[in-house]
Amino acid sequence: MTNPPTTTQSRSGFHCYSVSLALLAIASATLTAHAAPPKFILATSQVGISAESVTAEGYPGQMHRMAGGICVADFNNDTYPDIFIPSLGIAANKLYINNQDGTFTDQAAQWGIDEHLLSMGATAADINNDGYPEIFLVSLGTPGFGNAQPGQCKLYLNSGPDKAGHFSFTDIAKEAGVNRIFDMPGGMTPAFGDIDLDGDLDLFVATWMFHDSGNRLFENQFMQTGTNSFVDITTESLSAPDRQEIIRGFTPHIVDVTGDRYPEILLTADFTTSELFVNNGVNKDGRATFRTTTNKSNINADFNGMGAAVADFNQDGLLDWFQTNIYVANESRGNTLYMCESIDALGDPIYNDQAATRAVQDNGWGWGVVAGDFDNDQDPDLIATNGWPGWPNATTRFWDNDGTGHFSDQPISAGLLFNINGRGLITLDHDKDGDLDLIFIDNQGPLRFYRNDLAIEDGFTNYLRVRLDTSTHPCLAPNGYGTKIYATINGQTQLHAVHNNASYLSQSQIITHIGMATDTTIDELRIEWADGNTTTLNNIPANQEITVQAFHPMDFNHDSQFDYFDINTFLNALRANQPIADLNNDGTFSDADIFEFIAQFNTACN
């Protein structure tokens, strides 16, 4: 029998460990050492989805050919992923709520967001820490009223359930200060992230149009003012780019790659304008600022960066950066795979493009891409879509990782041998069966939902899903944005970074999926929260979803308040020489711990 999981106490106190799914059957001992390929089955109609990405007139320039995004979030907080499909002007927005039986129902009208819009990218996150995610949508206005207009973006505020259990959204973009990206219609992929580690999610919006100030950074004011509002801090916070060209932004990732907990902005952009903004931390005014290290970090090989994925592909503990590009064989141009080689003494990441040597350079005219362990063999694979009218089309790519960050293209065995005019691409586990599914957006064509039947058809390749609950920690961003999870199985450690999980114009499910191959236990799960505290769980059985809850280190009685009861609990622990009261970690229990308690108690979120 497998030993029950144990929780190691850290300075942040005892963290709650709960199992939200019943344990599934443990894999039989007869499984081979090599994982079977994923088994993707086209199941769009079976899951109840009917959507086409056909654009209306009104998009400026070539943007109608670039459109087609999608995002996934748990909008009703029932632990099952739901799907938002932005309108492209012909059909209205669609909101597919998960029925918890492998199917979805479009409830956009009931939720009040069935608008006809000229949309681009979408992302979803809980901006006010109430447990219900909002939707930010890059919109160029309403079709049929002339040309696209600036100031038309949407921020759909999730009101949660009313007394009758009905949910609704309300557009608050104008009041919140995020309806206008800049003074011309544009915008591509948005992304949320806690850039200043103050516990709320800030917003970055990438822009492709010819404009020297198109890419914008908005600071969330919720933790400061309690209001659903944002302030444009682009000029104050982002340093000038290393290169003089206008940044033609497509896809941002907001994730800590340097190891100091403050997330960087990895902006994948067109025409050799990708930029790496390294986070300096917060200044004396409490505002995060960034420096550009693009040239120093060797971000110089991408010619037409479009989609992006971030993962530790060679499992060396450093996060790598993959970008889709346009493949031009006679010029040796194509996708870029920036492998992180080191973090130097100044805290700057050093990358080396290895797309060609690792066999992921050719993707035709590439767009959306996702990273994930699609065969549950303990390493992240890559799946990418492509296409452009008049350009030689390529099949969908399934690049299988051999465990060292070298790949082989296996679309036939994976069931992904098809050609589309692909744009957005996301991954999710829609039925919570332990394997990752896919949704492709086909520009001017139908949405394609591919269910992964890996666990159903091949016995078991084991997994663990980790959901983070930061609702009782007032200083951590919702859903654990900024957390790093290290899973050790038989001496091999996987790194999973919880961040915005963007794809081109799109966002995948925010949950940590850990492939376990034939192993039935995770020996150690180390969770490094964005506040610097750590939770360690041991001996976790496979094939389940767990929820790990965070508590502030000064919230000694775990009631999300800082009051007399925490003081009393701390003093009792100190008198009893309990390890939790050794706040300065010197191995003794003294007045020094009391002074440390006072300092942390009075500056709870600093």
Q: For the residues 200-221, what does the mean pLDDT come to?
A: 89
Residue-level pLDDT at 16: 41
Backbone conformation region of residue 272, classed left if phi is above 0, alpha if psi is from -120 to 50, else beta? left
CB 487 within 8 A of CB 525: yes
Residue-level pLDDT at 246: 85
Q: Which two tokens stand for residue 184?
A: 């011309």
Torsional sign, CA 295, 297, 302, 307: negative
Of the spans 10-14, 62-66, 460-464, which averages the highest pLDDT? 62-66
Find where tokens 């669609």 sit: 94
Q: Identify the residue with better confidence: 155 or 37.
A: 155
Residue-by-residue DSSP string for 548-590: EE---TT-TTSSS--SHHHHHHHHHHHHTT-GGG-TT-SSS-S
CB 429 within 8 A of CB 509: yes
The per-residue pLDDT for range 74-126, each reduced to its tens digit, is 999 999 999 999 999 999 999 999 999 999 999 999 999 999 999 999 999 99
Torsional sign, CA 300, 302, 305, 311: negative
Q: How far apart (Å, rounded) are the C-alpha atoms in residues 287 and 84?
A: 32
Phi, psi (degrees; rounded to nearest 5) at 10:
-120, 180
The per-residue pLDDT for range 172-190, each reduced to its tens digit, is 999 999 999 888 788 999 9
The yes-or-no verdict on residue 210 having pLDDT over 80 is: no
Dihedral Cα 286, 499, 495, 605, nearest 10 deg = 30
Q: For the residues 166-172, what does the mean pLDDT come to?
A: 98
Residue-level pLDDT at 164: 96
pLDDT grade for 456, boundaries at 50, 70 and 90 = low
Residue-level pLDDT at 146: 64
Residue-level pLDDT at 217: 96
Q: Which DSSP letter does residue 471 get?
A: T
Find where tokens 């902006």 sit: 267
Q: Which DSSP letter does residue 410 get?
A: -
pTM: 0.92
The per-residue pLDDT for range 507-533, each reduced to its tens digit, is 999 999 999 999 999 999 999 999 999
**Count of residues in the chain:** 606
Question: Which has the minimum average pLDDT: 145-154, 171-180, 190-199, 506-515?
Answer: 145-154
Find where tokens 């699609």 sit: 374
CB 605 within 8 A of CB 200: no
Helices in 191-308 by DSSP H: which ranges? Answer: 222-225, 234-237
Residue-level pLDDT at 244: 66
The yes-or-no verdict on residue 155 having pLDDT over 50 is: yes
Q: How far apart (Å, rounded) are the C-alpha atoms in residues 425 and 432?
A: 19
Q: Identify the residue with better confidence: 26 or 440.
A: 440
Question: Which has the minimum average pLDDT: 5-19, 94-108, 207-221?
Answer: 5-19
Helix, coil or strand: residue 48: coil
Phi, psi (degrees; rounded to nearest 5) at 154:
-115, 140
Residue-level pLDDT at 457: 60
Q: Identify the residue with better confidence: 14 or 387.
A: 387
Residue-level pLDDT at 9: 37
Q: How far apart (Å, rounded) are the C-alpha atoms in residues 365 and 385?
A: 9
Q: What whole-number percentage of the chain has pLDDT above 90? A: 76
The per-residue pLDDT for range 259-306, each reduced to its tens digit, is 999 999 999 999 999 999 999 999 999 999 999 999 999 999 999 999
Torsional sign, CA 181, 126, 290, 253: negative
Q: How far apart (Å, rounded) are the C-alpha atoms in residues 274 and 269?
A: 4
The yes-or-no verdict on residue 486 having pLDDT over 80 is: yes
The yes-or-no verdict on residue 20 having pLDDT over 80 is: no
Which letter, b or e, does each residue of 129-164 get, where b requires 16 or more Cβ atoms within 10 Å of its Cβ?
Answer: bbebbbbbbbbbbbbeeeebbbebbbbbbbeeeeee
Question: Which has the minimum average pLDDT: 31-45, 129-143, 200-214?
Answer: 31-45
Q: For the residues 198-215, what does the mean pLDDT come to?
A: 87
Residues facing 42 on adjacent strands: 450
Calculate the average pLDDT of the chain.
91
Residue-level pLDDT at 606: 67
Q: Which two tokens stand for residue 23?
A: 């344990």
Question: Which has the minimum average pLDDT: 7-16, 94-103, 246-255?
Answer: 7-16
The yes-or-no verdict on residue 218 having pLDDT over 70 is: yes
Alpha carbon of 1 to those of 23, 27, 236, 278, 460: distances in Å?
A: 13, 13, 57, 47, 18
Angle (CA) 332-335-337 rounded to 5° is 110
CB 415 within 8 A of CB 437: no
The per-residue pLDDT for range 382-398, each reduced to its tens digit, is 999 999 999 988 999 99
